[in-house]
Structure 1
């Protein structure tokens, strides 16, 4: 059975009637910004989560933009003991609709965004230094590009692993595990 798509206000009304809201985003995304009352179960752990609710309870799944929930709609529906729904447009649409969110700016940026910022900065730096100082600096841009291709093909991102070990990211993980 395919979960039905719910616009934000319809999802909010369903939640007011006792439906369960499940946030399938990663822990770093959830820690920084979330819908009040959402139960956080990352997509990778959803199958191991056990029963999400009592039979007959509607469940509304959401991610940031709605893409992850739509891509995994069948798997999400299988986890719901009752009516399975997807928040159309995800958290982004929820915010655009003016519905409440909890923001914790003390949490670090999502790790994926940190990777994008660092990789982009290194590419630009390599180009600028390659043009102004020595063409050898273009190697820096090439190495970053190669690392991104490798990460995309293998699923292993060394830069993400390094960034995850930095103090501000470890502090965020420690706070989330309490």
Structure 2
């Protein structure tokens, strides 16, 4: 299977009003900032939304986005297996923001978390490493394995361009939006 088509951030920005943008991140990540007009259909809900996405793809081009481009590429491959052509945003919302483009944060979908997912991951990883080191010095050297495990997880995360800690943190109550909006996103896709 060939790699999905990729749009750069400037290309996507210039054509944003022509594209159906689907954000496959978790609702908490989506609420922390997404492309204007993007609909949130988390990757684990993509199969449920296939009829609506197929309908949108028949009417115009679909752009799938995530934080870095890894999940959106997986989503494009899943869609391609079902006969739906979609492009992915190179570098995801991280590249979009780094390019100086606006991220939308609607109050209606806001999470209770005040920090971005990336900031939460850095804080949690740093805290676990520090706790492992301090307990390893003061209580028992075996606690240093906690620091080693976090370091190994960070290396694995960098090599695979995934983040298990973000997935776990996304499941915490403070990272969940106050209301689910999948039905609203599906209705919006039907109306396009």
Asked if 1 retains the 8 angstrom alpha-carbon contact of 2:132 and 2:146, the reply is no
Is 1:164–2:172 an aligned residue pair?
yes
Equivalent in the alignment of 1:8: 9
Instruction: String of CA shifts for 1:28-62, please: whole Å, max 9, x gaps.
Output: 11111111110111111101113221613110111
Equivalent in the alignment of 2:35: 35
Equivalent in the alignment of 1:123: 129
Give the drift of 1:79.
Answer: 5.8
Asked if 2 retains the 8 angstrom alpha-carbon contact of 1:51 and 1:79, the reply is no
Number of equivalences:
161
Equivalent in the alignment of 1:73: 76
Q: Distance in 1 between matches of 2:60 and 2:27?
A: 25
Q: Distance in 2 between matches of 1:149 and 1:93?
A: 26
Asked if 1 retains the 8 angstrom alpha-carbon contact of 2:24 and 2:41, the reply is yes
Greater Rg, structure 1 or structure 2? 1
Asked if 2 retains the 8 angstrom alpha-carbon contact of 1:23 and 1:42, the reply is yes
Instruction: String of CA shifts for 1:68-124, please: whole Å, max 9, x gaps.
Output: 22344321334675x521111111121122221124786414668646533531332
Q: Report the RMSD for the aligned CA atoms in angstroms.
A: 3.5
> Which stretches in structure 1 are left out of the alignment for 5+ residues?
none
Q: Distance in 2 between matches of 1:48 and 1:58?
A: 20
> Which stretches in structure 2 are left out of the alignment for 5+ residues?
157-163, 182-192
User: Which secondary structure state, in structure 1, belongs to the residue aligned with residue 52 of structure 2?
Assistant: coil
Moved more, 102-111 or 42-51: 102-111
Give the structure, 1 or 2, with the largest relative contact order (CA under 8 Å, sep 6 or more). Answer: 2
Asked if 2 retains the 8 angstrom alpha-carbon contact of 1:31 and 1:107, the reply is no
Q: Distance in 2 between matches of 1:48 and 1:72?
A: 13
Q: Distance in 1 between matches of 2:29 and 2:22?
A: 13
TM-score by length of 2: 0.65
